[in-house]
Chain A
Amino acid sequence: MSTPQPPMPQQAAAAPNWQAAPGASYTSPIPVTRTHIGHALTSEWTKIKSVRSTMWTLGIFLLLVIGIGFLVAAQTTNEDFSDVPYTIPAFFGLMLGQICLITLGVLVVSSEYGTGMIRTTFTASPQRHRVLAAKLIIFFAVAFVVSAFSIALVGMMTSGMHGGSSDVSWGGSVIMGALYVSLLGALALAVGSMLRHSAGAITTMLGVVLVPAIMPAFLMMSDSMRTIGEKMQEYNAPNALARIFQLDTESGHGGAQLGLLAGVTAAAIIGAFVLLERRDV
């Protein structure tokens, strides 16, 4: 600065070092760090905990799973748990609660598109894949911890109320159940990233969850569609959760259903990453 202007108070307070660069180009006194996924993770953690939609969706999820679980546990007798795990009351809450996780998964990414925040984000981190990866990791971790906690709480509650009546181990159903609904949420996040529209993505995800549960009733009517209908019935989301919680023990413990969901989610995530790099923001 050849002609020092009277510095404005705000400027002087904020950047005393600005005056020290007479050269043609400016170098910041703040050290430049090399960014990596860790920076994106802390950023996404700040983002997810600083909006109300997270508190609302997770709050309602906890209320549904724990509340409905408690009511179911209170309405059942010790004999009902003779050959099923104690976590079974959580199943009924999860049937509704999964919609909360789907909503949160979609909102984590599509709210940025809706508000225009995504342009600010991608200006701050032109490595777009890093942002999406961080979003997926943070969301999945939050969803898994919250759902595992609520299922485990219901399991402990039920075992306290109906102590000694069941000898089925229920640890696996906590992990698998939490994994299933969290994967559903991650799928919703990938769909939200591809569709970039909150309402559209949530509707799509509700279709993914509900249509395979409803369609078999119609498909079973015709012989040619019967096999498709049976597969749909076997692999739809409510049925998958029912198997994970061993409502119906003779046809497996939901491993195949979980595998299918993991496959679909992986495909959607790959699609989201490809589109993210290619499209204009």
Chain B
Amino acid sequence: MIEAVGLTKRYGAKTAVYNLSFQVRPGAVTGFLGPNGSGKSTTMRMILGLDNPTSGHVTIGGFPYRKLPNAPRQVGALLDAKAVHGGRHARNHLLCLAQLSGIPARRVDEVLGVVGLQDVARKRSKGFSLGMGQRLGIAAALLGDPQVLLFDEPVNGLDPEGILWVRNLMKSLAAEGRTVFVSSHLMSEMALTADHLIVIGRGQLLADMNIKDFISHNSADFARVRTPDTEPQQREKLTAALTEAGGQVLPEQDGALRVTGLPLPRISDLAHSADVRLWELSPHQASLEEAYMRMTQGAVDYRSTIDQKAGLQQELPPGAVPQPQMPVAGQGQPGWYAPPPPQQGGQPFSMPQGQPGPYGAPAGGAPGPYGAPSAPAGADANPYAQSAPQAPAQAPAQPPAAPAVPVAPAAAPDLTKPEDAR
């Protein structure tokens, strides 16, 4: 059991961690998430007594780390895989740590076997790959067979087999009643491993909750429905029917529909009774990554910008069209994970009925809910164009739709008058 109360750490003018209070309970894997520079490693170091907090305190099993009798027998930690003297053999490295805490030397060979390094036990750790370094670090953490385990980015550099092993190891350690506290940036991995999440941003606590609650609080599940691309009127018909039945429908960039508020079988029934064929009806579970991105997008310190290459390009000959630059997802676009967090703009996918929201989709079967976004002049009404202000002007309002829709491009701009288009 790790307990932090009002933990604060300042380095000069920079506050790395501010007033952080949380508990890490035994018997579960607790994930520790946050953007780069959010204070995760500082918090871990303070838990281990390496850094002294400016104010507040953190205890393990009721004791500050440096007051624990034989601390390595109660707490094992992997802070930095390369925190070893590169000139020492893997076995000697573990041996000196074991001797320091009175652990019998044969335990060293045991943990070397556990992490699969028995064949390189007498190789100097300077030549180890990142993954081997991680394994050595995990071996050091397991050495004391401790009750509390801290891992900072344990799967960095591990091969798929190693990632699976670490995942199972964490779970089995927690299942034995140990306290397991893991930080990671791999959201997919965290979603599979962690039971509980502590999320920090800019040194402050953003969330401390069960992983399932975290995802459902910070995102919305929806169904993706796709009608035949060749018959846009079917899409309208279905939209009207779904809206009438109480669902919320949002157009996606590539012509699919995002439906919330209706279960999948009901959508299928409605489509059937409206005589609309479906090309796709798929449930979309919100991922931990989405939920995390939405929660932390305001707390990211280091964000990449678009590479302008200003002044480095050759002067284009007159009349030549510059190559359109496609933005990388998330690059230079704070609002890429577009729907605003619930606390700011209400539930993004459950807008109140009858109120024309930012997506221009008034309820009640208005004649052309898709007219605005697809009309060429109405690009500013397209929610995705809005959310991507840096998108180059040459790119059409629906860039991904162009290769996906094999029909004549004339069909797209005039969805409101499909009869005229063909």
Contacts and interface: CB of A to CB of B under 8 A. Distances in A.
B79 A30 contact: no
B111 A112 contact: no
Nearest to A279: B52
A1 interface: yes
B114 A117 contact: no
A14 B110 contact: yes
Interface in A93-120: 111-112, 115-117, 119-120
21 contacts: A10-B116, A11-B172, A13-B113, A14-B110, A15-B145, A21-B177, A28-B144, A30-B103, A30-B145, A32-B102, A46-B95, A50-B88, A50-B89, A115-B82, A116-B84, A119-B48, A119-B50, A124-B71, A124-B140, A126-B49, A126-B71
Interface in B104-149: 104, 107, 110-111, 113-116, 140, 144-147
A119 B80 contact: yes
Contact of B51 (A7, A10, A281): A281
Given A14-B110, A30-B107, A281-B50, A123 B88 contact: no
Contact of A53 (B87, B107, B176): B87
B65 interface: yes
A1 B174 CA distance: 9
Nearest to B72: A124
A29 B92 CA distance: 23
Contacts of B205: none
B168 interface: yes
Interface residues of A, number: 54
Interface of B: 26-27, 45, 48-52, 65-66, 68-73, 75, 77, 79-80, 82-89, 92, 95-97, 99-104, 107, 110-111, 113-116, 140, 144-147, 165, 168-169, 171-172, 175-178
B68 A126 contact: yes
Contact of B178 (A14, A26, A126): A26
A115 B84 CA distance: 6
A23 B107 CA distance: 24
A51 B66 contact: no
B177 A13 contact: no
A32 B103 CA distance: 8
Given A115-B86, A117-B84, 16 more contacts: A5-B172, A14-B114, A24-B26, A28-B147, A30-B104, A39-B100, A43-B99, A46-B96, A51-B88, A111-B85, A119-B79, A123-B75, A123-B79, A125-B100, A126-B65, A126-B71
A221 interface: no
A178 interface: no
A169 interface: no
A120 B83 contact: yes
B83 A116 contact: yes
A225 to B, nearest CB: 40
A126 B140 CA distance: 15
Contacts of B92: 46-47, 50
A44 B99 CA distance: 9
Nearest to B110: A14
A28 B168 contact: no
Contacts of A44: 96
Contacts of B66: 126-127
Nearest to A14: B114
Contacts of A15: 110, 114, 145
Residue picked from B51, B75, B103, most chain A C-beta under 10 Å: B103
A5 B85 contact: no
Residue picked from B82, B88, B144, B176, most chain A C-beta under 10 Å: B176
B65 A117 contact: no
Nearest to B111: A14
B69 A34 contact: yes
Contact of B176 (A1, A13, A39, A123): A1
Interface string A44-79: 101100111100000000000000000000000000
B96 A47 contact: yes
A35 B100 contact: yes
